[in-house]
Amino acid sequence: MKVVRTIGNQALLSREKTLFLCSKRTPIGLYEYIFRWTDSLTEKDCIACFNSTEMESEVLKALLVARIPTVLFVMNRFTDVNNIQIEIALRERRLAIVVLRRDEPKGKGMTPRLRNEYVLSICQHVVCGYVNKNGSVFGLLAGRNNVERLIDDRQALKVAEPDFRYERWTVAQDKVLLRMFYADMGIHAIHKQLHRSYSTVYTRIRSITQPEEVLKGREFEDFVLSLFDVQEGGNLVLQEWQGDKSSGLIQPENNSNPDFVFRYGQVEFAIECKWRRSLQQDLGKELFTASNIESYKKFAETRHMPVTIILGVGGEPSNPELMYRIPLETITSIISGDASITAFLIPVRTFDASTFVCKKEPVGKAYTIEEMRKHYSNAYKSWSVADDELLITLYKGGKSIKELSCTFQRHKGAIQSRIRKLLDTGEQ
């Protein structure tokens, strides 16, 4: 484990530090014990923490709101660039963000433990919130004598919060809650301001704000849109932007349509945006469900335009680690395993509208490779094994040469030539 970058006040690293650790899925009834500790801290303290679980995130917010000097450790890169409390703390020099990276991968799934061991080695004290005896934190702290536990086993078993008399939420209280929520002040600050239990605040936040997955989806849509050169009077026009609107279990029918419809010159095309923190092994279970695929196909046939899936994976929705450009007609092959999703991996931030539409072919025989690639972005590029497999699969599935030309961004003649070669030589 090594330090890649330090953001903020590096002088905090030389101070005596207390590391906060907590197991995942801390029962909300135990929040009181943990925040009782954060309230006892002063500006003379210096707390080291992470931000990878819900409890860690809430403790970080509580520390920043209370103006406690803090050292935040993150892996690979810092992504929470729009957090208001972090911006204020950096400006006031009471926060240091340390970006860590493993020197060499040494086994699958070990990064969190290696990170924890490294940070433990540079901190003088450890404070633990909830510790699950079956979790990694319990084993990590075994045998250490500089550990203070905020919650004992008896308290962990009794997780009920103090009784608060139920009162209807007023409009004024909702305004306060929303203002504090969007200022990244965290559940503890809202609890103290409104004198509501943590579970009540948590429930109210979820009931009057959009679910986290919806917010992340919208954030990724904003990111994808920023990659297209949409300008007033330009060739590329954003014609439709589908919003996620629903009320409980009632959803409008067109909510299943792709997110964007663009017009490039005289040609229209649709984009569906999806972001996931990681890819599931079964892509058809949640990412490309049968109902979604059917909706997109119906849209493509009704509107007479191609539909492309832009998939972001890892990082944050506003800054994904990986991106995939997946034509709708290839989804079934990916789910079945006939084609690999890695064949559709594209560099982040490097595509434009011309790769989504088929334009008029160059006229005449005298043209350069550069001129041909203005019309077909993959012209004269080598065919990969995955491309060959997908080409034959789609061709045998009934796709026309014109459709294949659009999908692979190659001249129709190149498509026909490759199909003949693969079938005649028996490469498939």
Q: Which domains does the chain have, with CATH numbers?
A: 2-160 (3.40.50.450), 162-209 (1.10.10), 210-349 (3.40.1350.10), 358-428 (no CATH)
Give the per-residue pLDDT at 106. 52
Give the per-residue pLDDT at 358. 54
Specify the long-range contacts of residues 178-187, CB closer than 8 Å, at least 24 apart.
Answer: 178/208, 178/209, 181/205, 181/209, 183/84, 183/85, 184/61, 184/83, 184/84, 184/85, 184/86, 185/61, 185/65, 185/85, 186/57, 186/58, 186/60, 186/61, 186/62, 186/65, 186/85, 187/31, 187/58, 187/61
DSSP-assigned letters across all residues of 240-302: EE-----BTTB--GGGGS-SEEEEETTEEEEEEEEEESS--S-HHHHTS-HHHHHHHHHHHHH
- Cα–Cα dist 265/372, whole Å: 18
DSSP 319: B
**How many residues are there in the chain?**
428
CA angle 309, 314, 316 (to 5 degrees): 95
* Residue among 113, 114, 102, 118 at smallest CA distance from 48: 118
DSSP 170: P
Half-sphere exposure of 296 (CA within 13 A, CB side): 26
DSSP 28: G
Three-class SS of residue 154? helix
pLDDT in tens, the chain (428 residues): 788 899 999 999 999 999 999 888 788 888 988 999 999 999 999 999 998 888 899 999 999 999 999 999 998 888 777 899 999 999 999 999 999 987 665 544 566 778 888 899 999 999 988 888 777 788 787 778 888 888 876 666 665 555 455 578 889 999 999 999 999 999 999 999 998 989 889 888 888 887 777 778 888 888 888 888 777 777 788 888 876 544 333 344 445 689 999 887 778 889 999 998 888 777 877 788 888 888 899 998 898 888 999 999 888 888 888 888 888 888 888 888 877 888 888 877 666 666 665 555 554 544 566 667 666 777 778 888 888 888 888 888 777 887 788 778 788 888 888 898 888 765 44
- CA distances (Å), origin 248, targets 245, 251, 345: 10, 8, 35
Who's near 267: CB < 8 A, 6+ residues apart? Answer: 305, 357, 358, 359
CA angle 296, 297, 299 (to 5 degrees): 65
| Tokens representing residue 385 in the block | 């094994």
At residue 176, what are phi and psi to the nearest 5 degrees?
-60, -45
Three-class SS of residue 322? strand
| Tokens representing residue 352 in the block | 């434009």
Residues 357-387: b if buried by 16+ CB within 10 A, e if exposed: bbeeebeeeeeeeeebeebbbbbeeeeeeeb
Give the per-residue pLDDT at 350. 61
Three-class SS of residue 316? strand
- Asked if 269 and 357 count as a contact pair (C-beta separation under 8 A), the reply is yes
Bridge partners, residue 401, by sequence:
none
- Asked if 428 and 422 count as a contact pair (C-beta separation under 8 A), the reply is yes
* Residue among 33, 32, 46, 67 at smallest CA distance from 192: 32
Exposed, middle or buried: residue 322 (CB in 10 Å: 0-12, 13-18, 19+)? middle
Bridge partners, residue 313, by sequence:
276, 322
- Asked if 113 and 28 count as a contact pair (C-beta separation under 8 A), the reply is no
- Cα–Cα dist 140/147, whole Å: 11
Single pTM value for the model: 0.59
Element (H, E) at 128: strand 125-128
Q: Are strands 345-346 and 322-327 parallel, antiparallel or unpaired?
A: antiparallel
